[in-house]
Amino acid sequence: MPFLELTLPCTEVDQPRYERALENVGALAVTLSDAHADAPDEQAIFEPGVGAMPLWAELSLTALFPGTTPRELLLHALEAADDGIDWSHVEFREVADQDWERAWMDQYEPLKFGERTWIVPWNHALPEGADRDGSAVVRLDPGLAFGSGTHQTTALCLQWLDGLARRGELDDATVLDFGCGSGILALAALKLGAAGAVGVDNDPQALIATADNAERNNVRDRLAVYLPEDEPAAMRYPVVVANILASALISLADELAARVAPGGRIALSGILAGQEDEVIARFDAAFEQLQVARLDDWIRIDGVRRR
């Protein structure tokens, strides 16, 4: 059965009002995206900072309805639900019924990072090389697509963790994955030899995805997940990785530094090229040996906590 898709522009301020009206008239799902994501001079947020809402100043809002929904009656219902909203910019289109999660999984291929870290869809056969002794294989459900290793920022962090493991710096360590999303970085750390991991994210669905993927990888007993306000305050970690946004890294610099044990290591990612100097300036007082790695237009900064 096809669906009816409704799309309209709105602002961050008005988004809750629009979404409430759409839900009141029976929307099956409402999703948000950056209204300028396709503009060459605009940068869409790929992941919000911990504690931040994943919104842009100007939004494109999409709602899904049963395919048999009459368009004119739907517009009348929306006007009745909130006659203070201008519904004249609504666009409709029919979308085919299909298994969206299956379509994504079918396109997702195993990926290798560093010397022995592999990210493999849970329903995919192990590729050549991933079945060797010593390989660290993370089985991921791309249907819970908070983070699948395909983005450059995640790749930079996975490469960093692989390098720590190669030098024995993950052995017996507890790793903090701050802004964990799917838990991919925490799971990779555990598969690479970490004794334990903690995932922190402001989105409860991300914590569910992380726990689900931990079960799938048989490491649930070594992984704890928390909302930011529930994380134990006294914890200090020998390894911290924060793959969020430069603006969030800068605002949370003191909190992140406080989570790293003296002599411990941190990796900061989600930084666009050109933003690294500001991030380094913010973390320089607490960390030494700060260095920059780049993949395409994205940056990772890593360093050692001053003693």
List the binding residues. 154, 179, 201, 243
What does DSSP assign to residue 125? P
Q: Specify the DSSP element, H or E, that contains 61.
A: strand 58-66
188 neighbors 118 (Cβ within 8 angstroms): no
98 neighbors 44 (Cβ within 8 angstroms): no
DSSP secondary structure letters along 210-278: HHHHHHHTT-GGGEEEE-GGGS-TT--EEEEEEES-HHHHHHTHHHHHHHEEEEEEEEEEEEETT-HHH
Structure tokens at 32: 């948000």
| 61: β partners | 8, 32
Residues belonging to the binding site for S-adenosyl-L-methionine are: 154, 179, 201, 243
- Cα 158 to the chain's mean position, in Å? 14
What is the edge-to-edge ordering of all strands in the sheet holding 111-113?
111-113, 117-121, 136-140
Smallest CA-to-CA distance from 97 within 59, 64, 53 is with 64
Structure tokens at 259: 């989570």
280 neighbors 301 (Cβ within 8 angstroms): yes
The span from the CA of 217 to the CA of 199, in Å, is: 15
